[in-house]
Each structure stands twice: as structure tokens, then as C-alpha cells.
Amino acid sequence: MADKFDVVVIGAGPAGYVAAIRCAQLGLKTACVDKWLNDDNKPSLGGTCLNVGCIPSKVLLESSELYELANNGIAEHGVDIKSAKLNLPAMMQRKQKVVSELTQGIAGLFKSNGVSSYEGHGMLMAQNNVEVTAHDGKKQALEATHIILASGSHSMEIPSAPLDGEHIVDSTAALSFDSVPKKLGVIGGGVIGLELGSVWRRLGAEVVLLEAQDSFLTMADEQIAKEGLKLFTKQGLDIRLGARVVSCEVKKGQVDVEYQHKDETCHEKVDKLIVAVGRRPNTDELASPDTELILDEWGVVHVDEQCCTNLPNVYAIGDIVRGPMLAHKGSEEGIMVAEKIAGHHAEVNYDLIPSVIYTTPEIAWTGKTEQTLKTEGIDYNTGIFPFAASGRARALGDTSGMVKVLADAKTDRVLGVHMIGPHCSELVAQAVIAMEFGTSSEDLAVTMFAHPTLSEAVHEAALDVRGNAIHIARKRK
Ligand code: FAD
Ligand code: NAD
């Protein structure tokens, strides 16, 4: 007999688990089906984000940064540490501990909110039924008034670099290397390439990033991306643009990567190679064909602004639908759908999704880039403030980068805020909040910011839109 629910969610990543919890909070009888098993073959909620994505990568970014600081940088503060030693097993254990605590936390939240958890593969069947196939093969039918699909994504593979799990690997394996590769190659100079490349460079690897495109970080503001390229290169990340990998061969424990750079055929020998060229939605076995769920040729589920699919009462959220593959975007879609099911009005502001790259310096932005404004023919004014002029950045000893505010030339409404520098992952929230309320650059300029803080750079960049920044030396006419 089928178990009956108001809502069944397939997938317990940041899109699905948030949707399930919000549905339960709103009084809906909710179940969530997830098939993730950890290394001990135990169910582990939280999806890619908690198990092998956002969280473990950020743990390693923090730990590796401390290691680098201890060896190189802390002496500047008058603290002498005689050669800090790396204990990689302990670093990995700590990462796993954080992951376990958080994934168990989701199980606890399900319990306290009354979400029924089902372990196994969920498949959407006709007439709003879900079939769950547990890992032991047992099947269970669930019946639901509403179904939310949130099955997430997996790393994309390319024929020129087939994964072998040992030398050529995806991001998941690169979060658990048991030793620091002497030379590490990464195919893809995107977010994962930069974050994981930074982790292993800080821990001692020589890192080469092979990026197919001729320009760097095309989704970011061009000026910020250029600054990033300069700073990452200075740190020792060897970023090669316009590098198209043709083939890879594993020989004597090394990967010989052949790539095309302009008209030249080049070779690079590395000990490990990470393939980080984007992700694909997990939609191959998500819906039985007779449901006629519409997907595009990449497997992306077709949805409208409100995440409704072509099937009545079936929604899709997170990495399986259009838009950036980001945890917070999926979570907000989960909340929107839960509210909608409960009969409330809700929407997601897709224009103000914050993006962050957790390198050092961090890169973060929201709203439109300067190149987009130019393409769209929108007149704008620019304000820029360098962290080198920030007292707090000087105190930190981390003065690279800047904050840039782009405001509409006619209305002064802030259209984009872009930043590279210390703690930008936190600073960008100010821009999102201000822009959500339709701020003008003048509103930001007349707002008081505490001193000395990095946030003052946001204030000064807003002042600079009218040429009124205080801490920038500029000759007046
Ligand atoms: P997922 O998190 O992928 O969760 C989907 C879940 O559904 C999984 O548990 C899966 O096992 C389960 N599932 C799939 N199919 C079925 C099925 N048929 N039945 C049952 N269960 C199923 N994003 C950020 O915003 N910030 C970051 O810092 C960040 N860092 C990242 C670092 C790395 C290394 C990676 C790989 C990704 C990172 N991301 C980051 C992206 C982020 O992880 C994803 O955007 C996010 O996890 C997507 O959430 P989701 O719920 O849509 O899917
Ligand atoms: P990405 O899209 O950020 O970068 C992939 C890069 O690989 C691109 O620059 C692309 O031009 C390049 N590329 C593609 N094919 C190539 C090839 N054959 N040879 C060389 N280069 C090639 O993807 P990713 O880094 O794999 O990350 C996947 C997703 O996970 C992203 O969409 C991102 O949003 C998400 N993520 C987010 C964060 C974060 O928010 N901090 C961190 C990690 C991952």
C-alpha cells in the first residue's frame, strides 16, 4: 500500500531539504526521498552541497589558508612559527567531522519538523506517484498531492580526459587526496578549478589550470576578473587560457595531458588531474517516460518562473532547472515552491543571486556586470574603492582588490556591485540587501558604516560614484 503525503520531495540537497522543511513548517504532511550514501554506506542527507561540495571545499579552503598563513604571512604580524608542518590526515578528518555533523543536523531537522525520510532512488510515476527503490532493492510506493523534484547534479565528463578514479578525477575525489600531488593539473579555470586549485597550491602542489576559453571568469565583471587573474598568477597558480585538452594518457603514474594552445600542440605531465568543466542535472532516471516530463537536450527540467514543470502539481528546483548551480539559489526556490503549495504568494528575485568564489582574495558580486550594462546600452556611473585604502584591510595585512558600484546614470539606482578582496563573501550580502530594497548609490553613500571595517569599502565605492570618496587621493580641478 502506498504511503500518502501532501508533498513528496525527491532529493535532500539544499534545494530539496529546505523545501521539505518549509513544507512541514507550513503544516503539510511531507516526505523526502534521498539516495546518498556516505563512505560507510549510511544515508547522508544534504546532497552535493553538504557531502562533497560547498561545505567540504570550504573546510579545506579554511584549513589550507591557515597552513599557508602559518608558513608565509604570519611573520609579518610579528608572530614567528618555525616551519608549520602539514598533517593532511588530521585536516581530512576535521573536514569529514564537519560534514558528518552537518548532515546529521539535517536528519535532526527532519525529525523535529516531522518530515518523513525515505532512503533510496525516487522516481516520478504517472498520476503523482513516486516509486522508491531502496538500496536493498525493496520498493515502496508513495502517493502525493504535490511533488517537488530536486535531484541535483553531477560532474560533467569529457572524452579527452576520461576519469580513472586515481590519476584523472572529479571534484569529489579531489576533496580527499591522501597526499599532496607534486604537480596538479586542472581542466577548467572556473569556480571549482580556482577553489580546489587554491587548496592544493597552498598545501604545496604546483598547480596548472587549463581553461578552454580565451578570457578568464567570463561570468564575473571583466575588471574584477582581470584583477583576479593577476593576483592568482602572482600566488603561483599557473592559469593557461585558450588551452583545449585533446587527450590524456596515464604513463608511469603520471598523466600526460595534450592540449591545443592557439596553433601549438602542447604537453603537460601532472601527477593528478582534476576535471572541473561544469555540472549536469541528475535527470536520467528521475521520471518514468509515461509522465512526459519535459527536459531540454542537456537534461534540464523545463520550468516557469515559479518552478512549475509542464505536469500539474509537479515542481522542479535547484541544479536540475535553469539558472546558476548554487546552493542558495536552490534553497530559495525550495521555499518559494513550499509557500506556493501552501497557497501563499512567493517569488525568487533571479536578478539578485549573489555569486562568490572562495579564493584568496575572495571574488563576489550581485546584479549586472559592466560588460552587460554596455551590451544592454544602459548608461551608468562607476564608483571604485581599493582595499589598499582601507584601514581595516591594512590591519588584516590583506589589501588586495577593490569594491566597485555600478549605478544607473539617470536614476542612480544601484545595478551591480562587484568585489575582490578580503571577506567579500560576507560583504556582498550588504549589496544584495540594499539592492533588494532598490537602493540608490546616494542612499548607500549617506548610510553610516562602522569604522574600521571592510564594509567601509562599500560605503566609499558608493561615495566614489559622485567622486566623493574620502580616502582616495584625487586632484580636484
Ligand atoms: P544536490 O545538492 O546535488 O542534491 C541532490 C540530492 O538528490 C543528492 O543527495 C542526490 O543523491 C539525490 N538524488 C538524486 N537523484 C535522486 C533520486 N532519483 N532519488 C533520490 N535521491 C536522488 N554552491 C554554492 O552555492 N556555494 C559553494 O560554495 C559551492 N561549492 C561547491 C563546491 C563543489 C566542489 C561542488 C561540486 C559544488 C559546489 N556548489 C556550491 C554547488 C552546490 O553544491 C549545488 O549547487 C547544490 O548542491 C545544488 O543543490 P540541489 O539540492 O539542487 O542538488
Ligand atoms: P564552471 O562552469 O564554474 O567552470 C568550468 C570551466 O571549465 C569554464 O571556465 C569552462 O570554460 C571550462 N571548460 C569547459 N570545458 C572545458 C574543456 N574541455 N577544457 C578546458 N576548459 C573547459 O564549472 P565548475 O567549476 O565545474 O563548477 C560547477 C558548478 O558548481 C558551477 O556552476 C558553480 O556554480 C558550482 N560551484 C559553485 C561554487 C561557489 O559558489 N563558490 C564553488 C564550486 C562550484
pLDDT for the residue numbered 422: 98
- Mean per-residue pLDDT of the chain: 97
Residue 7 near residue 25, CB atoms below 8 Å: no
- Whether 3-155+280-348 and 352-464 share one fold: the answer is no
Topology (CATH level 3) of domain 3-155+280-348: FAD/NAD(P)-binding domain (3.50.50)
pLDDT for the residue numbered 473: 83
Is ligand 2 within 6 A of the CB of residue 56?
no
Kindly report, residue by residue over 349-403, the tens digit of the pLDDT.
999 999 999 999 999 999 999 999 999 999 999 999 999 999 999 999 999 999 9
Ligand 1 atom 40: residue of nearest CA: 54
Q: What is the CATH number of domain 352-464?
A: 3.30.390.30
Mean pLDDT of 7-14: 98
The contacts of residue 301 (CB under 8 Å, 6+ apart) are 149, 281, 283, 293, 294, 295, 309, 316, 320, 321
pLDDT for the residue numbered 72: 86
In this prediction, residue 127 has a pLDDT band, given cuts at 50, 70 and 90, of confident
Report the separation in Å between the CA atom of 255 and the middle of ligand 1, taken as the mean of its atom positions. 29
Give the torsion through C-alpha atoms of 91, 92, 96, 98, to 10 deg: 20
Kindly report, residue by residue over 452-464, the tens digit of the pLDDT.
999 999 999 999 9
Mean pLDDT of 84-106: 97
Element (H, E) at 418: strand 414-421
Kindly report, residue by residue over 307-361, the tens digit of the pLDDT.
999 999 999 999 999 999 999 999 999 999 999 999 999 999 999 999 999 999 9
Under DSSP, is residue 140 helix (H, G, I), strand (E, B) or coil? strand
Is ligand 2 within 6 A of the CB of residue 16?
no
**What is the grid cell recorded at 90?**
588530521
Kindly report, residue by residue over 401-418, the tens digit of the pLDDT.
999 999 999 999 999 999
Q: Which ligand is nearest to the CA of 330?
A: 1
Task: Work out the angle between the directed axes of helices 327-341 and 16-25 (0-180°, nearest 10).
Answer: 30
Ligand 2 atom 34: residue of nearest CA: 325
Under DSSP, is residue 396 helix (H, G, I), strand (E, B) or coil? helix
Least confident window among 63-77, 271-285, 299-313: 63-77
> Among the atoms of ligand 2, which is closest to the Cα of residue 187?
20
Phi, psi dihedral angles at 295 (to 5 degrees): -120, 155
pLDDT for the residue numbered 477: 60
Report the separation in Å between the CA atom of 205 and the middle of ligand 1, taken as the mean of its atom positions. 27
- Per-domain residue ranges for the chain? 3-155+280-348, 168-277, 352-464
The contacts of residue 264 (CB under 8 Å, 6+ apart) are none
Ligand 1 atom 33: residue of nearest CA: 53
Question: Which residue carries 555569486 as its cell?
Answer: 355
- Out of 154, 267, 451, 471, the active site residue is 451
The yes-or-no answer on residue 146 being catalytic is: no
Is ligand 1 within 6 A of the CB of residue 14?
yes
Ligand 1 atom 16: residue of nearest CA: 151
Report the alpha-carbon distance of residue 116 to residue 31 in Å, rounded: 4
Q: What is the CATH number of domain 168-277?
A: 3.50.50.60
Pocket probe for ligand 2: among 61, 192, 209, 357, the residue whose CB has the most ligand atoms within 8 Å is 192
